[in-house]
Chain A
Amino acid sequence: MDHMPENWGRPRSDVYGSYQHAIHSAGPQSHTQVPSITGTSVIAMKFNNGVILAADNLGSYGSLARFTDQERLIKVGKETVVGFSGDASDMQYLESMLERLIIEDNYEQDGHNFRAPHIYEYLSRVMYNRRSKVDPLWNAILVAGKKDDGSPFLGYVDLLGITYSSPCIATGYGAYLAIPLLRKLVSEDEDAKNVTEEQARAAIDESMKVLFYRDARSLDKYTVATVTLDGNVKFDKDVRCQNMNWRFAEGIRGYGTQKQ
């Protein structure tokens, strides 16, 4: 007698053998993959002379720190930086799409060049169309640069095709850990006018440190990119978290090996 009611009424394992779960995966074609090599948060904020953004250099394979020199901020065109979190292969696919987009734009050497809003528009349509095929590109993306009128631009688009703009944006855990720190400086677009590049950089560095403290899929090595309103793009690579203090770690309870 089987005393487990959930097994009653089922084909008996002792007669038919246990249920073969491989049957589950035999079905119609399934597009939706799961991300494999992933990048964690990208964070960004506006300041009085442009936009600054940062992303660490880790490519994770699940919980394994697989690649430690992954570059996730890329320059697109002359004055735009795009930051990717999420799946690395989808990032590289989008990267090559963007590169070819820029090359085609340069065929007509007519002085026109793609600015951040154009690249943002393009990416958002690609992301939305892929989600509508239920075959998404598994990324959350920030686009930073300047608008046609010369003002700073910062936008977000993700695997669902969701888009929004804000003076400070972060993907992933950055939305919980970095945004409160960045919004202390810049809560409204207007506030950005009173923040210098140095202040913004300090807030970004502090945020990357907090993320390294608490995000288990992060690295203390990161890249900072700055787009200024004169159209310059500056990359600061292999930046390290400074003045870290891990004393707080002793006090952490509730998970890990120690029992209260």
Chain B
Amino acid sequence: MTSIGTGYDLSNSVFSPDGRNFQVEYASKAVEADGTAIGIRCADGVVFAVEKIVSSKLLVPGANKKIQTIDKHVGVAYSGLTPDGRHLVDRGRSESYSWRGLYKSPIGVPILADRLSGYVQAYTCYSSVRPFGVSVIVGGVDKSGPHLYTIEPSGAFWGYMGAATGKGRQAAKSELEKLDLPNISARDAVKAAAKIIYIAHDDSKDKDFELEISWVSTSETGGDHQFVPKDLLDEAERLAKAEDDDDDDDDDEMDED
């Protein structure tokens, strides 16, 4: 960040003279330091994918999932401080749980995103708390169809056809723009998502990562949020790796030229 807070960055509830809330901007820094997470809104659902950086070889493969389920029909992926994300997911679960208790029906995704963003926004208003250090991609299928939102540390939430946060978000966004959204099928979106995560991943900076992909789709999962089956994940990963290697080869050739 170019400008220094000059004292206006020490508390949440204080604006700087030029109208900025520095604590929120610092929170965004935490997001930018974490692995990439993307969401794709496809024809009849939503696909999530994350690049989960494996910080130690001692961690159990497949453990500490970064994609989570808020309700039957709602999934979530995020970049940033994982515990902050976990807490927000808990909040989302209690919102949707109490909605079911009151209305005997699943909560709508836009309403859930609205309520979660309201919760996040509240953490930018008080000096006793700090903002959430996560950008959250929330998506799912409800009776009005598929929805995808991103909630930022400021509490702003935007609806997307394709969303990306984290380290590789720029590369991921430009790849997402090339897709035929929102007409792409869920199955194709899974393969595209794997490819994008591999493109967004920077080998030189990060060591190992695990690819996590989940989906909510009327045709594929009956409207439930689930991790994609292992064979599909393996296939998507194989295709993504193959393409990634090709790109590397191209680079090599260019070097030779």
Contact = CB atoms under 8 A, between A and B. Distances in A.
Contacts of B72: 103, 106
B97 interface: yes
B51 interface: no
A218 B101 CA distance: 32
The DSSP consensus for interface residues of chain A is helix
B69 A109 contact: yes
B130 to A, nearest CB: 26
A106 B226 CA distance: 9
B78 interface: no
Contacts of B226: 109
A104 B96 CA distance: 11
A107 interface: yes
A100 interface: yes
A103 B95 CA distance: 13
B79 interface: no
Interface size class of B (residues with CB under 8 A): 10 to 19
Contacts, number: 22
B10 to A, nearest CB: 37
B12 interface: no
Interface in B73-100: 93, 97, 100
A99 B100 CA distance: 10
B93 A107 contact: yes
Contacts of A109: 65, 69, 226-227
Contacts of A103: 71-72, 97, 100
A107 B97 contact: no
Contacts of B227: 109
Interface in B35-75: 65, 68-69, 71-72
Nearest to B68: A107
Contact of A96 (B68, B69, B93, B104): B104
A158 B238 CA distance: 53
A106 B100 contact: no
Given A100-B97, A100-B101, 6 more contacts: A96-B104, A100-B100, A103-B71, A104-B93, A107-B93, A109-B227
Task: Report the 6 A-B pairs with minimum CB-CB distance, sorted nearest first.
Answer: A103-B72, A107-B69, A106-B69, A109-B227, A96-B104, A100-B100
22 contacts: A96-B100, A96-B101, A96-B104, A99-B100, A100-B97, A100-B100, A100-B101, A103-B71, A103-B72, A103-B97, A103-B100, A104-B93, A104-B97, A106-B69, A106-B72, A107-B68, A107-B69, A107-B93, A109-B65, A109-B69, A109-B226, A109-B227
